[in-house]
Amino acid sequence: MTSRPILACFGLLCAVRAVSGADEPTHLQRAAAATTTAHGNRACAAAKPFYWEIGDQHAALASGTEGGSPPGAASAMPISTASEWVFAAYIVQSRGGKLSQADIEALTMRSGYANLQYDRCAKIAPALRRTETVNNCFHAPHLVGGSNSDFARAQVDRFFYNGGHFQQLAAADSRLNALTASALSAVIGTQLGTDAAFSYDSPHVDAGIRTTPAAYASFLRKILAGQLLMHDALGSDAVCTNPSRCPSAIHSPLPQTESWHYSIGHWVEDDPRVGDGAFSDPGLSGFYPWIDASRTYYGVLSRSSSAPGAHVISMQCGRLIRRAWLSGKPL
C-alpha cells in the first residue's frame, strides 16, 4: 500500500506522519517516543544541552532541543572525531569505491601509526594556523620526544584508536599532503558535494572539522540515498575493538563493557548485549551521528563538550532516542 505523508504537530514538535496500512509506528508516534525519551530519560539528562534530529534520505522527520541554551540545526561547532566518517567517505569516493589494503588498514585504524597528538596540529597563532599543511601535522614533533608520524610495526593489523592512521593516509596522498585547512575543506567538500558546509579548523583529517548539525545531516542523507559510495562501504571490513575481549585490539575510546566493531571510518554498534547494528561515529567532544542498521534513517545528537567521556554520554542518550524512534515506544 502506498503511504501518503501528513505534517502533524504537537507542542513545539512537528513531524512527518506516514499513513499506511502497515502495523509499524507512524512517524508521529516515532517522533513522540523519541521526544519523550530525549526529554525524560536519565541517560539524556546527562547530555543536556543538546539538539537532536532524525530523518531519512529525503528530509528531517523530527527534531528537538533539550536543556538551557542548546545548539540548533544551524549552530556551527567542532565535531572532533566525528570527522572520521567524512574523511573515510572522501577516500572511498575518490577511489571509486575500490580501496587498497593500505587504505583499509588505515581506515580501520590498524596501520601502525598511532602516536598522533591533536594539540600538535591545532596551532593557536593565526599565522601558523593558516599555513600549516596536512604533511606538517603528520610530522609535527612532540614536546617530550617522538612525533605524530611515529610508526610501530608491532601494531600493524591491530586496532589502536588514534588519528595517526588517517593522517598518514592523507600525508601519503599527493592530492592532500600539501593542503592547508582551508584548502582541505574545498577539496574534500568538492568530492563529497558538501562544499562550504564543512570547514577544517586544522589540517587534522581525523578531528579537524567544524560544521552544523544540518550540514552533517545532509551528508548522512547523501549516504542513505546512495549518492556517496560510502553507502556500500557501511560495515565493511569491520574489525573488533575491545582489548579486553579481542587480542588483536590494543586501545579503544569506548568503555570495556561495550564490544563494537570498527569499519571504514565509522563504528558498528553490534555489541551482543546492547547493540542494534547501527553505524555511527561518536565525536570525542559529544557530537554523535548515526545511520540505523537498515540504512533507512539517520540521526544526529549535537553538542560540544570538553568534559571527559562526552562521546560516551552522547552515545548512550542518542542510541536510546534511536531505539525509541524505531519502536515508537518511549524509553
Start-to-end CA span in the chain (Å): 30
- The per-residue pLDDT for 328 is 98
Q: Is residue 271, in this structure, part of any structural domain at all?
A: yes
- The per-residue pLDDT for 171 is 98
Q: Is residue 42, in this structure, part of any structural domain at all?
A: no
Q: Is residue 8, in this structure, part of any structural domain at all?
A: no
- The per-residue pLDDT for 125 is 74
- The per-residue pLDDT for 11 is 37
pTM for this model (two decimals): 0.92
Which of 109, 72, 56 has its CA nearest to residue 302? 72
Asked if residues 270 and 260 have their Cβ atoms less than 8 Å apart, the reply is: yes
Residue 92, domain CATH = 3.40.710.10
pLDDT per residue, tens digit, the chain (331 aa), is: 333 343 333 333 444 444 444 589 999 999 999 999 999 999 999 999 999 999 999 999 999 999 999 999 999 999 999 999 999 999 999 999 999 999 999 999 999 999 999 999 887 777 787 899 999 999 999 999 999 999 999 999 999 999 999 999 999 999 999 999 999 999 999 999 987 789 999 999 999 999 999 999 999 999 999 999 999 999 999 999 999 999 999 999 999 999 999 999 999 999 999 999 999 999 999 999 999 999 999 999 999 999 999 999 999 999 999 999 999 999 9
The dihedrals phi and psi of 129, each to the nearest 5 degrees, come to -65, -35
Q: Is residue 14, in this structure, part of any structural domain at all?
A: no
Asked if residues 259 and 16 have their Cβ atoms less than 8 Å apart, the reply is: no
Nearest-angstrom CA–CA distance, 196 and 180? 15
Q: Is residue 257, in this structure, part of any structural domain at all?
A: yes
Q: Tell me how many degrees the CA angle 252-180-85 measures, rounded to the nearest 5.
A: 35
Nearest-angstrom CA–CA distance, 132 and 308? 28
Structural domain of 221: 78-308
Q: Is residue 129, in this structure, part of any structural domain at all?
A: yes
Q: Is residue 283, in this structure, part of any structural domain at all?
A: yes
- The per-residue pLDDT for 22 is 54
**Structural domain tally of the chain?**
1
Q: Is residue 32, in this structure, part of any structural domain at all?
A: no
